[in-house]
Copies of this chain bind each other. A is one copy, B any other.
């Protein structure tokens, strides 16, 4: 199994890794469900809060799962595709926002603080953007592997849950490209305004994706080919973090459209790779709903958000805290002397 530990030595180690993923533990899921039915409430009346507790029990292998160490990792990268004017913000904003994360001034900082989450920020070679994918592969195999390993290394082995977010000017185009390459359809199905593109901007995004898909058609037969040809460093790092979390049985909350699209290449390799991943919120980016449907996932929250940074995932962590507080803290009918109907 030595070739299944991080750092991975070659990109193809990912293919081997996903054949040996730990699965949810049904015995603990059943124990948690049985516990729910003894608590002082009509059975099922806490709705999806009950399901979240059961989900956590299965991955943590505990009837009473916990959130003692909630970790958020925000991955940041820059993208050569910005040369095609796919984003109204200058590329320097990626580094400026990373500084803002480190200084504590961004939305994700406030959301982590109020929801009890430790935040790590990992910026990956911001001064060396990926290649414009209309001209060549976005990353070399080595660049992609390095980014996967960086994402994996950012995951603390003692995390109770991992929240993933991203920052990278231009990466809504990268996300749409990955989703399109994995799930097909037209580029217009996957492209939206991102951080604020106007109609012309959206058309440019569609155009570059169509040109990228045409150029790389021979590389798009599997997930890793898609990731290197059209992905970005923070997307590869998110894949690495998701895999590292899975090997340690750490459940994950992905943020919105870009995070979900970042792991579409893993879904292409093997859909079960994402079984330990929750989706924090449904983004207003129009491709997100389509993407979730394609992956058989649904989002915890829907607040018309479109910020990224892990903001929707950190918000959802608060809901998970409430779900586990009920699951672990409520009295049973027997304890409380309440008639159970």
A residues apposed to B, CB below 8 Å: 39-49, 88-90, 92-93, 96-97, 99-100, 103, 105-107, 109-111, 113-115, 195-196, 284, 301-307, 311, 314-315, 318-319, 321-322, 325-326, 328-331, 335-339, 341
Contacts and interface: CB of A to CB of B under 8 A. Distances in A.
B47 A325 contact: no
5 contacts: A41-B106, A42-B196, A47-B284, A47-B303, A113-B325
Contacts of A115: 318, 322
A279 to B, nearest CB: 15
A42 B307 contact: yes
Contacts of A88: 341
* Tally of this chain's copies: 2
Nearest to A321: B114
A42 B341 contact: no
A110 B303 contact: no
Contact of A49 (B39, B44, B303, B321): B303
A16 to B, nearest CB: 39
Contacts of A103: 331, 336
Given A318-B318, A322-B111, A322-B114, A336 B100 contact: yes
Contacts of A341: 88-89, 93, 195-196
Nearest to A315: B322
